[in-house]
Amino acid sequence: MFDGVEHGEKQSEGGYFSWPRAMDTLLLEILREQKIKGLKDDRNFQGEAYRVAIDAINKQFKCNITKEKIVNRLKTLKDIMHLALDALKKSGISWNDTTKKIEAGPETWNELIKAKPKMKRIRDKEIPNLELLRDIYEKDRATGTKARTAKERLRQWEETNTIDEVDQLQAENVVILENLEDLHTSSQLENSSGTSSNKTLKKSSSKLSVKRKHDDINSEEKKGKNSTNPIEEGLKNVNESMAEIARALNEANKRLDRSTIRIYSSTEIYDELEKLGVPDDKLLDAANFLKTNNEKADTFFCCPERLKRQWLERNGF
C-alpha cells in the first residue's frame, strides 16, 4: 500500500482524502466492468461510469466521494502504472506477484532513479492493483501494429496485389470487406490536410470488386457441378450451409467456454462474506484477497456452503 502522498489525494480545502486499498480495488473493479459495458472511450470514461462508481463507493465506505476526487485518484494510479510498466521494460527488473512489488537490485534502482527521479515513488512499494490498472488502461499505451491508424491500415490494403494477399489481410483482421467503407471514412478524417482521397477510394474499390468477382466465379463453378436437378441441388446447398453453420457455432461455443473467465463483482463477494458472518476486522482483507485472485474466488464460490467457512479459515480468514 502506498504511504504519504501516494495513499491520498489533496483536497481543495486542505489536507488529504484517505484512499484505503479496498476503496482503490472497488473503484477499479467497477471501472473495469463499465469498460466491458462500453462506457469507456479511447482514454476517458463516460459520465454514467463515474456515477456508478460514486454511488457504490459512497454506499460501501459511508463517505461522500465526488467525481473530482475519483479523477484525481485515477491520475495518481495511472502515473504509478506508467512508472511500473516503464521500469519492467528494463533488464534486471522483475515483478513479484506475491508481494505485488517490482524487484531489482540497489544498483539497478539507483540507475533507474537517476534517469527518472519519479521512479523512487515505486521503489520497494506495493502496487496491489497493477493487474486491474493494466486491464483498464494498458491499451491506451498501445504501440506498433495494434496501434495503426485507419490511414495506415488502408495503405496496407491498397498495396495488396493478389487475391491471396486480400484473403491474408482478412484472416489477420487487418481489413474486413463488409466494413471497408468505414475504414475509408476514418482515413479521410485522419487526413489533416483535408484533401480528398478519390484516387485511393477508386483503387481500393477496384480491388474489392476483383475480390467479389473471384468469389462469385468460384460460387458459380460449384453450382455448375452436378446440377442436373435444381431442387436436389438446392436442398444439397441448404444442407451444406446448415452443417457449416452448426460447425461454426460449435467451434465458437468451444472458444467461448475456453476464454470466458468468471469475475465476481465486489458486491457479490461482500454479500457472500457477510452472509457467512466474517467479522469486520477480516472482511476487507478477505474481500481484497478474493478480488485479486480470480481462481481463488472461483474455488470459494463453487465450494459447498457447508465448507465455505472452513475454506476461509484455511486461507487465513
Q: Report pLDDT digits (tens) over 186-245.
A: 445 545 444 444 444 444 555 555 555 555 555 555 555 554 577 877 888 888 888 888
Selection from 234, 35, 48, 235 nearest residue 138 by Cα: 35
44/140 Cα distance (integer angstroms): 10
Is residue 151 over pLDDT 70?
no
Is residue 170 over pLDDT 90?
no
Average pLDDT estimate for 39-52: 89
Give the CA count within 13 Å in the CB-facing half-sphere of 139. Answer: 12
Cβ distance 28 to 133 under 8 Å? Answer: yes
Matching residue, cell 506495493: 126
What is residue 129's DSSP assignment?
T
| Cα distances (angstroms) measured from residue 18 to each of 11, 21, 110, 201, 299 | 10, 10, 30, 56, 33
Backbone angles phi, psi at 293, to 5 degrees: -135, 85
User: At 23, is the pLDDT very low, low, confident or very high (cuts 50, 70, 90)?
Assistant: very high
Strand segments, DSSP code E, in the chain are: 8-10, 16-18, 94-96, 101-103
Is residue 183 over pLDDT 80?
no
* Alpha helix stretches (DSSP H) within 37-66: 47-61
pLDDT of res. 135: 92
What is residue 18's DSSP assignment?
E
Percent with pLDDT over 90 in the chain: 34
What does the mean pLDDT of the chain come to? 75
The model's pLDDT over 249-267, given as tens digits with 9 standing for 90+, comes to: 877 776 665 555 678 888 8
Identity (one letter) of the amino acid at 191? N
Q: Is 30 exposed, middle or buried (0-12, 13-18, 19+ CB in 10 A)?
A: buried
Domain boundaries along the sequence of the chain: 4-141, 148-225, 227-254, 266-314
Is residue 35 over pLDDT 80?
yes
Selection from 130, 67, 58 nearest residue 99 by Cα: 130
pLDDT of res. 50: 94
For the whole model, what pTM was predicted? 0.45
Which of 62-66, 80-84, 235-239 has the least mean pLDDT? Answer: 235-239
Q: Is 158 exposed, middle or buried (0-12, 13-18, 19+ CB in 10 A)?
A: middle
pLDDT of res. 83: 95
Average pLDDT estimate for 286-305: 84
Is residue 124 over pLDDT 90?
yes
Backbone angles phi, psi at 256, to 5 degrees: -65, -40
Matching residue, cell 534517469: 115
pLDDT of res. 157: 54
Average pLDDT estimate for 285-313: 84
What is residue 140's DSSP assignment?
G
User: At 146, is the pLDDT very low, low, confident or very high (cuts 50, 70, 90)?
Assistant: very low
Is residue 118 over pLDDT 60?
yes
Is residue 174 over pLDDT 80?
no
Is residue 73 over pLDDT 90?
yes
Helix 150-158 / helix 180-190 crossing angle, nearest 10 deg:
120
Per the document, the length of the chain is 317
